[in-house]
Amino acid sequence: MNIKDILTPFTAWANVVKEPVTIKDPFNREAAPRYRGFHDNDIEACIGCGTCEAICENQAIDLIPVDGVETKDGDSGLRPQVDYGRCCWCALCVDICTTDSLRLTNEYTWIDTDPDNFIFTPGVTPKSWYKKEEGWRKPGNGYEFYSKERVDMEELHAEERIDSFIEFVKGYSKEQAEKEADRCVSCGICTATCPAHMGIPEYIKAIRNDDLEEGLRVLYETNPLPEICGRICTHKCEDVCSVGHNGDPLSIRWLKRYIADQNPSEKYKEILNQDTSKSNGKKVAIIGAGPSGLSAAYYLALLGYECTIFEKLPEAGGMMRYGIPEYRLPYDQIDKDVNYILELGVEIKYGVNIGTDIKLEQLGKDFDAVFSGTGLHLGRSTRIPGTDNENVYFATDLLREIVLGKDIYVPEKIVVIGGGNVAMDITRSLARLQQIKYGKVDCTATSLESEDIMPADREEVVEAREESAIVDPGWGPKSIEIENGKVKGLNVVKCLSVFDENHAFSPKFDEDNKKFFPADMVVESIGQGMDLSYLSKEFKEKLKFTERGRIKVDEYFQSGVEWLFVGGDIIEGPDVIHGIANGHKAAVGIDNLLNK
Amino acid sequence: MKSFIEKLNSKYVLQEVVYQRDDLVFAAIKKENAIDAITYLRDYEDFTHLVLMSCVDWIEDGKYQLLYLLHNPILKNDIGIKVYIDRENPEMVSAHHLWKSIWTYQREMHEAFGIVFPGSPRLKENFVVEGWDEIPFMRRDFDTHEYAEKTYFPRGNRKSNDPAEYMRKKLYPSQPVTAKQRKDDK
């Protein structure tokens, strides 16, 4: 026997003092930094869009109301609840999360005797792991389930569009529209914000399925003016788009336009398949062929009412035709929407002025109900010295006269007072007329509001500047300089703030910081007023008015006089989509009244 | 790596060559030449180690893509060989004679995608699921959602809300809406 054989077993004793390779406490072992463990949700950032629920292959997620979270524009008020009896921690819910609020921490142990406890609301049900920073988050390195960038809309360049009124937004091609539609997560958060509550996810889905006839049917359920809204809607829906929380919001407006553009007008009747041949024998008069009047007529016609629209101007559309310039909304597109409504049997009597040609009270006698959507067609004045000069105009009057084909005064230098969309419309229209007449543009728009709070859509300001118009915001008009009865320009002072701490209109100025805009013509575009002269004094006494001088209506737009319904810009807005929604609801209200 | 890929390309026509990293290249080889190429890589180019084998379902193209990831322990390089096979009749020449470990991968591909590797040992034995009578579960046309719904009973204490519907009821219950919603309300 060898001495080595005796000693070798004792060498094993050396291992007694070594650190063991096994884990002492397997329950408190930290997982890897990107481990996909238990959920956490940032309740403030989450908007309850439900894409986590939709993508979950195991149906482990429900959306439930949570105390303290309010349902409002852009937030459903719901939050995801996870069932750990079904979850497989694949983290698809995290990877699709539109707000990046959902994550998985790297916590992975949870012992409980009651199976029902394993259903919990991340971020709401108190859990120890929320404080853990490590775990799985959306990688964000280009790994995305939907594109963050919207498909660009092709437009004519400023040089190509400045010398005419042709439409400059080209519209999506099939490939572009389908690519853009593919970004939609179908959450439907946008629907509540749209004043007409359009079925936005449904019509976007129709684009994805290349079923544009179905798309048109979806559009017409809530909006009979899709060509128009597809071009000039204020698209509040896009402001709340869940995809917009982390990228560009969907181009909802352009997608709507795509559906309407692709369906030829001669096929509308066949596609929409709406039968209005059966009359219910009741008649409704509608004052004004603007968005609210047309919408009311459309929905009433579908219910079997005989509708007659009385329009003061020679063509239908109201502000859509006589306020919005042709380069944004071509007349043939207005006609396409209007003609379909006429095909349903709606009649329009043009050139009829209610109040003078026919008394409103007479309409009330001749018809079973009356809807009035007369709009805001009167300009408002700043009332600064000099506004009584003949070369000081209202934007609404000029826009209307351009459409009516009248020869308007276009001097070489023009200044526009106002920072809203109408101000941009008149600025850009006059810039075009200057380009046509003089081959150059010298038109300045100045507003009280500074650049960041200008009420105009951002794109309008950008496009106006592209077209060589000057937009110089943040100035308060003081006086119009008149010399020998001629306009010489506009005196302004710096505006420091427009609203006080209670958000009330109360502009403050720095009187020492002055500026002078030389001009031969001044256009005021600081808002519009309503012309209610068609209401006689005795009639007015029967109506109720709000503190702001608007006619008081109930939720179905019924006024104090039972047979009179009022809607559109004179009640809500001003914009097209509110008018459409008002008209739709008033139609339901009229039907409720006459079908009692 | 580049010169090696050029050399390989002259022997077996490579497609979709992607230089992923300095030490990792992907390339597609035609089904007929793939096992030949893999054998050559193992026996002449020192790619002696099979790292893994996997599969992707390109349902839109009607193809499965097999991936053989090989490692060269001398140069510390990796090459991923992609092979596209027909999705309708998914069959691939077995490579079980090259590495024993590939038996298991091929068994997994068979269970998860339904791919047949003729001659591969124990191919049809269960891998992770027992008594499976649906279409293979990793195929993209397998509806996991539907399967979960019909297989696992729902808990009685769960109820969900559709965001758009919930917002309608909360924010604008009286607004006239779509025909479908009007019908649902009734």
Query: What CATH number is associated with residue A342?
Result: 3.50.50.60
User: Cβ of B178 and A199 within 8 Å?
Assistant: yes
Count of A-B CB contacts under 8 Å: 96
Q: How many CA atoms lie within 13 A of B46 on its CB side?
A: 8
Shortest CB distance from A63 goes to which of B160, B174, B176?
B160
Give the nearest chain A residue to B166 (CA atoms).
Answer: A76
A536 and A418 part of one domain: no
User: Cβ of B174 and A85 within 8 Å?
Assistant: no
A492 and A460 part of one domain: yes
What ipTM was estimated for this complex? 0.87
Q: Using a CB-CB distance cutoff of 8 angstroms, which residues of chain B are in contact with residue A81?
A: 158
CATH 3.40.50.2300 fits B2-176, yes or no: no
* Residue carrying the six token digits 């793939």: B34
pLDDT tens digits along A418-463: 999 999 999 999 999 999 999 999 999 999 999 999 999 898 999 9
A166 and A104 part of one domain: no
Mean pLDDT to the nearest integer, B106-113: 96
With a CB cutoff of 8 Å and minimum separation 6, the contacts of A98 are A47, A49, A51, A185, A187, A242, A243, A245, A246
- Residue B183: the pLDDT is 62
Q: Which two tokens stand for residue A187?
A: 């959450």
Q: Is the pLDDT of residue B149 over 90?
A: no
Give the nearest chain A residue to B176 (CA atoms).
Answer: A585
Q: Using a CB-CB distance cutoff of 8 angstroms, which residues of chain A are in contact with residue B152?
A: 86
* Chain A interface with B: residues with Cβ < 8 Å: 48-50, 53, 57-59, 61-65, 71-72, 76-78, 81, 83, 85-86, 116, 119, 187-189, 191-192, 197, 199, 201-202, 218, 221-222, 299, 555, 581, 584-585, 587-588
Rounded to whole angstroms, the Cα distance separating B104 from B100 reads 8
Q: How many CA atoms lie within 13 A of A379 on its CB side?
A: 23
> Choosing among B139, B159, B175, B185, which should be mutated to test the A contact, i.e. which has the most A CBs within 10 A?
B175
Q: Using a CB-CB distance cutoff of 8 angstroms, which residues of chain B are in contact with residue A87?
A: none
Distance from CA of A218 to the nearest CA of B (A): 8
Q: Would you place residue B176 in the very low, low, confident or very high pLDDT band (cuts 50, 70, 90)?
A: low
Give the nearest chain A residue to B153 (CA atoms).
Answer: A86
| 3-class SS of residue A568 | helix
Supply the pTM of this predicted model: 0.85
Name residue B65's beta-bridge partners.
Answer: B56, B84
Give the total residue count for chain B.
186
Give the nearest chain A residue to B147 (CA atoms).
Answer: A58
Number of structural domains chain A divides into? 4
Residue A121 near residue A80, CB atoms below 8 Å: yes
User: Cβ of B167 and A201 within 8 Å?
Assistant: no
Nearest to A419 by CA among A393, A377, A381, A457: A457
pLDDT tens digits along A370-413: 999 999 999 999 999 999 999 999 999 999 999 999 999 999 99
| 3-class SS of residue A211 | coil
Angle value at C-alpha A394, between A390 and A396, nearest 5 degrees: 140
A372 and A382 part of one domain: no
Give the nearest chain B residue to A117 (CA atoms).
Answer: B157
Task: Show the domain range for A333.
Answer: 282-376+530-594
Shortest CB distance from A197 goes to which of B145, B163, B177?
B177
- Window 22-41 of B: residues touching A by CB (8 A cutoff) are none
- Residue B12: the pLDDT is 93
Is residue A150 domain-resident? no
Is residue A13 domain-resident? no
User: Cβ of B163 and A188 within 8 Å?
Assistant: yes
DSSP notation for A155-172: B--HHHHTTS----B---
Q: Is the pLDDT of residue B177 over 70?
A: no
Maximum distance among all alpha carbons in chain A? 134
Rounded to whole angstroms, the Cα distance separating A446 from A435 reads 20
User: Cβ of B163 and A85 within 8 Å?
Assistant: no
User: Cβ of B167 and A555 within 8 Å?
Assistant: no
A507 and A565 part of one domain: no
Is residue A552 domain-resident? yes
Give the pairing of strands A564-566 and A528-529: unpaired
Q: Which of A528, A556, A571 is the last residue of a domain?
A: A528
Rounded to whole angstroms, the Cα distance separating A158 from A169 reads 11
Give the nearest chain B residue to A57 (CA atoms).
Answer: B145
Is residue A14 domain-resident? no
Q: Would you place residue B180 in the very low, low, confident or very high pLDDT band (cuts 50, 70, 90)?
A: low
User: Cβ of A197 and B155 within 8 Å?
Assistant: no
Name residue A39's beta-bridge partners.
Answer: A104
Is residue A149 domain-resident? no
User: Cβ of B168 and A197 within 8 Å?
Assistant: yes
Rounded to whole angstroms, the Cα distance separating A261 from A169 reads 13
pLDDT tens digits along A208-220: 999 999 999 999 9
> Choosing among A51, A56, A57, which should be mutated to test the B contact, i.e. which has the most B CBs within 10 A?
A57
- Window 142-181 of B: residues touching A by CB (8 A cutoff) are 144-145, 148-149, 152, 154-155, 157-168, 170-172, 174-179
A441 and A488 part of one domain: yes
Is residue A10 domain-resident? no
A523 and A536 part of one domain: no
Our CA dihedral for A324, A329, A331, A333, rounded to 10 degrees, sits at -140
Q: Would you place residue B185 in the very low, low, confident or very high pLDDT band (cuts 50, 70, 90)?
A: low
User: Cβ of B158 and A83 within 8 Å?
Assistant: yes
> Choosing among A52, A56, A63, which should be mutated to test the B contact, i.e. which has the most B CBs within 10 A?
A63
Distance from CA of B33 to the nearest CA of A (A): 33
Q: Using a CB-CB distance cutoff of 8 angstroms, which residues of chain B are in contact with residue A201?
A: 164
A310 and A371 part of one domain: yes
Our CA dihedral for A37, A41, A42, A43, rounded to 10 degrees, sits at -160
Q: Which two tokens stand for residue A411?
A: 């001097």
Nearest to A54 by CA among A190, A145, A125, A121: A145
User: Cβ of A77 and B170 within 8 Å?
Assistant: yes
A462 and A522 part of one domain: yes
User: Cβ of A58 and B155 within 8 Å?
Assistant: no
pLDDT tens digits along A85-136: 889 999 999 999 999 999 999 999 999 999 899 999 999 999 999 999 999 9
The gap from C-alpha A386 to its chain's centroid, in whole angstroms, comes to 37
Q: Using a CB-CB distance cutoff of 8 angstroms, which residues of chain A are in contact with residue B149?
A: 59
Is residue A104 domain-resident? yes
Nearest to A579 by CA among A325, A327, A320, A334: A320
Q: Which two tokens stand for residue A162?
A: 């400045």
Give the nearest chain A residue to B143 (CA atoms).
Answer: A57
- Residue B186: the pLDDT is 59
- How many CB atoms are located within 10 Å of the residue A371 CB? 32
Please report, in angstroms and rounded to a whole number, the separation of the first and last CA atoms in chain B: 69
A65 and A131 part of one domain: yes
Q: Would you place residue B182 in the very low, low, confident or very high pLDDT band (cuts 50, 70, 90)?
A: low
- How many CB atoms are located within 10 Å of the residue B99 CB? 18
Rounded to whole angstroms, the Cα distance separating A123 from A129 reads 10
Rounded to whole angstroms, the Cα distance separating A271 from A221 reads 13
- How many CB atoms are located within 10 Å of the residue B34 CB? 22
Q: Residue A70: give its domain's CATH number.
A: 3.30.70.3270
Q: Which of A271, A294, A309 is the last residue of a domain?
A: A271
Q: Could you list the pLDDT tens digit for every one of the 596 residues in chain A?
A: 788 888 888 888 888 888 877 877 777 788 999 999 999 999 999 999 999 999 998 889 999 999 999 999 999 999 999 999 889 999 999 999 999 999 999 999 999 999 899 999 999 999 999 999 999 999 877 788 999 999 999 999 998 999 999 999 999 999 999 999 999 999 999 999 999 999 999 999 999 999 999 999 999 999 999 999 999 999 999 999 999 999 999 999 999 999 999 999 999 999 999 988 888 999 999 999 999 999 999 999 999 999 999 999 999 999 999 999 999 999 999 999 999 999 999 999 999 999 999 999 999 999 999 999 999 999 999 999 999 999 999 999 999 999 999 999 999 999 999 999 999 999 999 999 999 999 999 999 999 999 999 999 898 999 999 999 999 999 999 999 999 999 999 999 999 999 988 888 899 999 999 999 999 999 999 999 999 999 999 999 999 999 888 999 999 999 999 999 999 999 997 899 999 999 999 999 999 999 87
Q: Residue A176: give its domain's CATH number.
A: 1.10.1060.10
A385 and A523 part of one domain: yes
A363 and A286 part of one domain: yes
User: Cβ of A587 and B176 within 8 Å?
Assistant: yes
Q: Is the pLDDT of residue B148 over 70?
A: yes
Q: Which of A271, A301, A316 is the last residue of a domain?
A: A271
Q: Is the pLDDT of residue B23 over 90?
A: yes
Q: Using a CB-CB distance cutoff of 8 angstroms, which residues of chain A are in contact with residue B154?
A: 59
